[in-house]
Structure 1
Amino acid sequence: MGRLIYGSMSVTLDGFFADADGGIGWTVPEDEVHRLSNQQVKDHAAVIMGRGLYEMMVPYWHDLLKSGEGGEIEQEFAQVWDEIPKFVASRTLTEVHESCELIEGDAIEWIARKKEETDGDIEVSGIDLASQVEAAGLIDVYRLNLLPVVLGGGKPYFRDDGTQRDLELTDLQRFPGGTVALEYTVKR
């Protein structure tokens, strides 16, 4: 059985993953953080994402890989992203890019089955989808990059659903630019 990882996301000190307008311009990672993300994705068995993240990530990284633009770190991520199995949960999409597979039926049930069938880590990304998977009690690990930024408002990393989550810190890495990469495992 695999582990479901609540996607490696950048989070502000005050707990937001995006500003009030959905902007994430403040999240551009320093090289060392980007390298960590590259390795984490490379180590995953698969990535499951919601429609919003799919529409942002897949075309961007696919086009970057094809064009050869960007730096070495970006091209490395584009290659890793191109090769990893990617699944998309959406109630509105009827087709997805050839590098992805559209999840049919109930996404949470599908993800629970995928977790049972998979050896290795599966990242669940896109705040709406990841929050639903979290609410179903399927998340095993939280990974976040805590950035030295305070937005004062925006879109929260966690849903305000009144659920307490007891976690154990299983990894911590500090980076020169002030980012702290955190990994917490759910206590069961």
Structure 2
Amino acid sequence: MSIRYLLVSLAYLLQLAPADATQTIASLDEYELQRTCVTPCFWSGDPDDLDSTDILGRALQCCDGIPCRDVKDSCYCRPDLRVSASSFLSHCVEQRCQNEVDFSTALGIYDDYCGNKRDEAASEPANTEATATKESDDEPKATASQRDSGTQATSKATENESSGAVVHMSGAYLVLGFLTLVLLTN
């Protein structure tokens, strides 16, 4: 087995990230316990049916048309869309139920669901894009930008003179450890 193959395989495995999950708010026990006048503000029809529509997802413009299905948590639970979700739920629940308690319950379910999804996302590896630049002869620099939030981190790195690639020291140790393990098992 060639070392190049091992390095490429390792790099690929390190880049894998879990797919963006589809929202499942209707599966919550609290969702099922709402009054029937509230649930149409979230879904039109049974969420398990193919002809149902995610009403709140559509209101948040997380999908283009009808039926609106398979809305991603990354859109449904975006912190900047919470105000829009609250406004939509307030208007919808007020029209359907004429009761502020039902609105508070609906918003609480949305907040609990999305709060849990944000907590899960915070514990997962970030989706980043990395670039390498050489500012001077002495100091190569690597920059990683998180796509979802726009945050950016910069760190100094070592440069491989033969290929021009920038390698973070912790990544280099990881590769070295992996290669050592492979060579010892052969």
Give the TM-score range, shorter chain: under 0.3
Higher strand share: 1
Higher helix share: 2
TM-score scaled by structure 2? 0.24
